Amino acid sequence: MRNQFKDTLLKLAEDEPRFALLFGDISVFLFREFQAKYPNRFYNLGICEATLISVAAGLSSQGFIPIVHSIAPFVTERAMEQIKLDLVYNELPAKIVSCGATFDYAWDGTTHHAWTDTGWMRMLPNFEICQPGSKKETDQLLCHYLFSSSSSYIRLSDNPHGEDINDITPGKGIILQDQAADLTVVTAGPILKNVRAALDGISANLIYYNVLKPFDSEPLQKFKNTKIKVVHDAFGLFEAVCENIDAPVKKLGLPDRFCCSYGTIDDVRKLAGLDVESIRAFFLKE
């Protein structure tokens, strides 16, 4: 998805002089072509995530579309107050594009895991949160949300779900399966991969989101009389579903403890109970 981020920015920058890229000394080599082509629109400002956000607010006040990029926990958690005040309260919109979603950097340990970001950011008013699950969705969401009038968070992952989902309108949830089943599964982003595998042989409806806020409640309404189960490797989807439907909702999400075993994303997902077997057991449980 990070490669797609680069390709999409190269494509869009040709016709958009307002872009100003502010990088926290990450992905700089990847963006070398962008930097060479647009030297006064690319700034590797250093490892100072809070200030990247503040600088973005300043650029935004002067009519630019600032795009801040760094590793997810650092550019969100460390810069939380700058995001809340400098961007959102000041009404100085910027775009935050992160890499290293949830357990992408499993081997790096807890310091590099990002799982609170979508949960607390959804509490910010007039703020958009995207969790693309593929390169195609990354392109689609960037093309839309980079031009929106609000601040947006676009959370890239190195572990796409592997599906080619057609006909997604940015901001809309999509019904991937409608089997008129008693069970409706709701999920978002890359964990769709495990959800699909876990659903093998189980009759269920399946709703997929790649935008957590603003939340599109329409697909949910169709299944409001079914059992609803949410699977998410971050926070925010379950809360959004509960707020938008008058029905009991069950959740399989992250446990109330740190999940650090190094290895691969699959190793840590297993530790967190988000591996295929655990998800399947959740679906089969009454």
Partner 1 sequence: MVSLASPRSVRKNILESSHKSGHGHIPTSFSIIEMVLATYGIMNHNPNEPKDPDRDIFILSKGHAALGYYCCLAELGYFDPKIVHSFGGAGTIFGCHPDRVKQPWVEVSCGSLGHGIGVGTGIALAQKINNTNRQVYCLIGDGESNEGTVWEAVMVAVGQKLDNLTILYDNNQSQSRCLQIRKPAEIFSAFGCEVHEVNGNDIDELQKVLSLPVNGRPKCIVANTIKGYGCRTLVNDVFAWHRRSPNEQELNQLLEELDA
Task: Verify binding: residue 64, partner 1, rule CB under 8 A.
Answer: yes
Q: Nearest Cα to 76, choosing from 115, 130, 36?
A: 115
Q: How far is the CB of 145 from partner 1 (least distance, A)?
A: 21
Name beta bridge partners: 155. Answer: 98
Q: Is 76 in the site for partner 1 (CB under 8 A)?
A: no
Look at the block and give the residue holding tokens 């999920």.
187
Q: Is residue 124 a contact partner of residue 84, using CB atoms and an 8 Å limit?
A: yes
Contact 282, 252 (CB under 8 A): yes
For residue 225, state whether it binds partner 1 (rule: CB under 8 A). Answer: no
Q: Does 62 bind partner 1 (CB under 8 A)?
A: yes
247 touches partner 1 (CB under 8 A): no
Question: For residues 12-31, which are near partner 1 according to CB under 8 A?
Answer: 20
Q: Using CB under 8 A, which of the segments 43-51, 122-130, 198-206, 264-272 binds partner 1?
A: 43-51
Q: Which is nearer to partner 1, 14 or 256 (CB)?
A: 14
- Under rule CB under 8 A, residue 40 binds partner 1: yes
- Min dist CB 190 to partner 1, Å, is 32
Torsion of CA 199, 274, 184, 219, to 10 degrees: -120
Nearer to partner 1 among residue 52 and residue 141 (C-beta): 52
Residue placing its CB nearer to partner 1 in the complex, 53 or 99: 53
CA distances from 201 to 187, 218, 230, 244, 284 (A): 18, 27, 18, 29, 11
Pick from 25, 33, 81, 243 the residue near partner 1 by CB under 8 A: 81
Residue 86 binds to partner 1 (criterion: CB under 8 A) = yes
**Minimum Å distance from CB 86 to partner 1?**
6
Choosing from 54, 70, 102, 187, the residue that interacts with partner 1 (CB under 8 A) is 54
Residue 82 binds partner 1 (CB under 8 A):
yes
Minimum CB separation from partner 1 for residue 17, in Å? 10
- If one asks whether residue 166 binds partner 1 (CB under 8 A), the answer comes out as no
The token duo for 258 is 């740190």
Of the pair 59, 191, the CB lying nearest partner 1 is at 59
B/e letters for 191-224, b = 16+ CB within 10 Å, e = fewer, are bbbbbbebbeeeebbbbbbbbbbebbeebbeebe
CA distance linking residue 251 with residue 285, whole number of Å: 12
Calpha distance 228→243 (Å, rounded):
13
**CB-CB contact of 34 with 2 (8 Å):** no
Binding span for partner 1 by CB under 8 A among 6-14, 58-66, 138-146, 232-240: 58-66
Q: Quick check: 91 binds partner 1 (CB under 8 A)?
A: yes
Supply φ then ψ for residue 282, to 5 degrees: -65, -40
Give min distance, CB of 94 to partner 1, in A.
9
Q: Which among 242, 218, 206 is positioned nearest to 169, based on CA atoms?
A: 218
Residues at the site binding partner 1, with contacts judged by CB under 8 A? 20, 40-41, 43, 45-46, 48, 50-51, 53-64, 66, 81-82, 85-86, 89-92
